[in-house]
Structure 1
Amino acid sequence: MISTAPSRTRGIAGTGVEPEPFGQRSTGISPSLNSDIDRLLSLSVRPHTHLIEGRLTLVTGILVIYFPDIWDDKHMKVETGTLDGVLIFIPTPYRDERGLFTRTFDASIAAAHGLDPVSFVQDSQSRTIRGGIRALHGRAGQGEAKLVRCARGAIYDVLVDARPDSPTYGARMSVTLDDESFAHLYVPPGLLHGYQALTEADVCYRIDREHDPAEDISVRYDDPDLAIDWPLPVTAISRRDLAAGSWRRVRSVLEAATPAPPEA
Structure 2
Amino acid sequence: MKATPTAIPDVMVIEPKVFGDARGFFFESFNQKAFNEATGSNVNFVQDNHSRSAKGVLRGLHYQLQQPQGKLVRVVRGAVFDVAVDIRKSSPTFGQWVGVELSEDNHKQLWVPAGFAHGFVVLSETADFLYKTTDYYAPAHERCIAWDDPAIGIEWPADIAPQLSAKDQAGLSLSQAEVFA
What is the TM-score normalised by the length of structure 1?
Answer: 0.64
1:216 Cα offset (Å) = 0.7
Matches within 5 A, 1:65-84: 76-84=1-9
Alignment of 1:203 with 2:132, yes or no, is: no
Instruction: State the Cα distance separating 1:235 from its structure 2 match.
Output: 4.5
Q: List alignment gaps of at least 5 residues for structure 2.
A: none
| Alignment match, 1:171 | 96
Structure 1 residue 106, shift from structure 2 partner: 2.1
**How far apart, CA to CA, are the structure 2 residues paired with 1:234 and 1:116?**
38
Q: Which has the larger radius of gyration?
A: 1
SS of alignment partner, residue 175 of structure 2? helix
Alignment partner of 1:105 is 2:60:
no
Confirm or deny that 1:89 pairs with 2:14. Answer: yes
How many pairs does the alignment contain?
A: 178
The match for 1:243 is 170
With 233-242 and 148-157 compared, the bigger mean Cα shift is at 233-242
**C-alpha distance in structure 2 between counterparts of 1:247 and 1:136, whole Å:** 10
Q: Offset at 1:175?
A: 0.6
Q: 1:245 offset after TM fit, Å?
A: 1.1
Consecutive unaligned residues of structure 1, counting only runs of 5 or more, are: 1-75, 259-264
Look up the match of 1:222: 148
SS at match of 2:147: coil
Residue identity matched to 2:58: I
- Measure how far apart 1:142 and its partner are: 4.8
Quick one: structure 1 residues 101 and 147, their matched pair in 2 at CA, closer, same or farther if it must change by over 3 Å?
same
For 1:226 and 1:166, the matched residues in 2 are separated by 15
Normalised by the length of structure 2, the TM-score is: 0.91
Quote the offset at 1:254 in angstroms: 2.6
Higher RCO, 1 or 2 (CA under 8 Å, sep at least 6)?
A: 2
Instruction: Answer 1 or 2: which has greater strand percent.
Output: 2
Flag the 1:158–1:227 CA change in 2: closer, same or farther, 3 A: same
Partners of 2:45 and 2:175 lie apart in 1 by 31
Moved over 4 A (4+): none
Q: Does 1:181 align with 2:136?
A: no
Identical-pair percentage: 34
